[in-house]
Structure 1
Amino acid sequence: MKSDTHKRARLRLDERLQALQPIDRFRAPPKGWVRALRDALGMTGAQLGARIGVRPQTIESIEKSEAAGTIQLNTLRRAAEALDCTLVYALVPNSSLQAVVEARARKIAIRELQRVAHTMRLEAQGTENADFEARVQAYIRDKLSERDLWNET
């Protein structure tokens, strides 16, 4: 079953990404990593520029663009290599991927069930709230596929 494959992939990624938590440890210094590392090494902008093969003014531009969040990954990779570093790039979810999928499915199920309940109330066929959680779980299990979760915002 395809959703089982996706679930296993999510769980494997969640496990791998767990090592990156908490992400606060990886926040860039205020002036950016390039500037922080260059300064810590006692390297001038001209010296770094020579190592990359660019003018010192370009190093200043690189450092400013990194601090502003507009630097290109390729440029950052070249700067990292010139500083004898490895660029590490990752997208780290704010919660587990499995939790994101479950929350999204729950949101859709609740929205759809509330819409149906509203229509039934208008027709004087209200349903009991007591079994609402069971109906949410049944809706997720029986009606939703993973592909449906991301069709809308």
Structure 2
Amino acid sequence: MKSDSRKRGRRRLDERLRALQPIDRFRAPPKGWVRALRDALGMTGAQLGKRIGVRPQTVEAIEKSEAAGTIQLNTLRRAAEALDCTLVYALVPNSSLETVIESRARKIATRELQRVAHTMRLEAQGTDEVDFESRVQAYIRDKLSERDLWNEA
């Protein structure tokens, strides 16, 4: 039951995040969004600083920290508001969440079943490779829970 609910939640989240693909279109400009927007608006660092309530040198530090990827979200949010923008923050999976779960389960099942097969070969009790895929599916279905997928790296 809980697994079905989690699966529905993943599908809903995948659907929402699909609109953010491809993520390349959200890649920040080389000097960062704050600097790009400030320049596009024709706003000086001193003017932006006044709108945020900081010195011009602090605006320069904000822009540098954004470009370096070290800016704090609350600082970026304040700068965005001063530029009449909304900060949009998201973690966008590289593939669907369902694909991530399936891939992780397959990796664990394959590793475990290969370990068993190796031990059996050492004992001269080799297993038939033909049904390996069905054994992987059975292992995933019968032995793994979603929580088990993340116990190790």
Counterpart residue number, 1:65: 65
Partner of 1:116: 116
Distance 1:79 1:27 in 2: 18
Count of residue correspondences: 153
Distance in 2 (CA, whole Å) between partners of 1:2 and 1:111 is 26
Gap runs ≥5 in structure 2: none
The residue number in structure 1 matching 2:91 is 91
The residue aligned with 1:126 is: 126
Equivalents in 1 of 2:5, 2:123: separation in Å? Answer: 42
Residues 14-25 of structure 1 correspond to what in structure 2 (within 5 A)?
14-25=14-25
Q: Are 1:52 and 2:52 counterparts? A: yes
4+ long deviations beyond 4 Å = none
Alpha-carbon offset, residue 84 of structure 1: 0.2
Structure-2 separation of matches of 1:39 and 1:114: 58
Superposed displacement of residue 2, structure 1: 1.0
Question: What is the CA distance between 1:40 and its match in structure 2?
Answer: 0.1
CA displacement, residues 4-62 of structure 1 (integer Å, 9 cap, x when unaligned):
11111111100000000000110000000000000000000000000000000000000
Aligned equivalent of 1:100? 100
- Please, what TM-score do these two structures have when normalized by structure 1? 0.99
> What percent of counterpart residues are identical?
88
What is the rounded CA distance, in whole Å, between the counterparts of 2:100 and 2:22 in structure 1? Answer: 17
TM-superposed CA distance for 1:128, in Å, is 0.4
Are 1:148 and 2:123 counterparts? no
